[in-house]
């Protein structure tokens, strides 16, 4: 498993951004993070910064304005179709709709897992398994 050094959080909930930053810091998870309010903002950033490496990890919401999580995934595939080390993608959503959960499973293996909000320490432990990313106390 690869070490997680960089993270994109694609979610329209600013409170979730704040809480996630706090939860990462509180649990000693040292990762370079970028936050986007919707899929379009993330796609635009990647298009404008093609020379910048993709993140190791993407935490993606499903329901967002402008470009939702599913549209982001479709656009992302077109943007960088042959990436040697594609990011690990987790859906983090408040949607417990069975259609969304099943769609995530059927997304050609692009999505590693689906977590319901609010995300907690146990969820972070499942996502950030590697001890190397934690700061020594």
**Mind listing the pLDDT tens digit for each residue in 10-35?**
999 999 999 999 999 998 898 999 99
**Tokens linked to 88:** 């690990």
pLDDT above 80: residue 3: no
Kindly state the helix (H) or strand (E) to which residue 14 belongs, with its residue range.
helix 14-26
- What are the residue boundaries of the structural domains of the chain, listed by start? 12-49+65-91+107-118
Contacts (Cβ under 8 Å, ≥6 apart) of 44: none
- Taking Cα atoms as reference points, which of 80, 133, 131 lies closest to residue 110? 80
| pTM of the full structure | 0.89
% of the chain residues with pLDDT over 70 = 92
* Residue recorded with tokens 């609010």: 118
% of the chain residues with pLDDT over 90 = 62
Indicate the range of 20-29, 60-69, 74-83, 119-128 predicted with least confidence.
Answer: 74-83
Q: What is the pLDDT of residue 137?
A: 45
Indicate the range of 15-19, 34-38, 122-126 predicted with least confidence.
Answer: 122-126
Q: How far is CA 126 from the centre of its chain?
A: 13
* Residue recorded with tokens 């298009």: 47
């Amino acid at each position: 498993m690869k070490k997680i050094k960089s993270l994109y959080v694609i979610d329209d909930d600013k409170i979730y951004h704040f809480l996630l930053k706090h939860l990462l810091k509180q649990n000693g998870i040292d990762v370079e993070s970028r936050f986007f309010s919707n899929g379009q903002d993330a796609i635009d950033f990647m298009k404008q910064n093609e020379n910048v490496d993709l993140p190791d990890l993407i935490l993606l919401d499903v329901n967002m304005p402008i470009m939702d999580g599913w549209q982001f995934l479709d656009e992302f595939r077109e943007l960088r179709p042959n990436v040697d080390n594609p990011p690990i993608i987790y859906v983090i959503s408040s949607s417990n709709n069975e259609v969304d959960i099943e769609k995530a499973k059927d997304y050609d293996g692009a999505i590693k897992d689906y977590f319901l909000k609010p995300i907690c320490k146990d969820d972070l432990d499942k996502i950030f398994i590697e001890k190397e990313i934690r700061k020594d106390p």
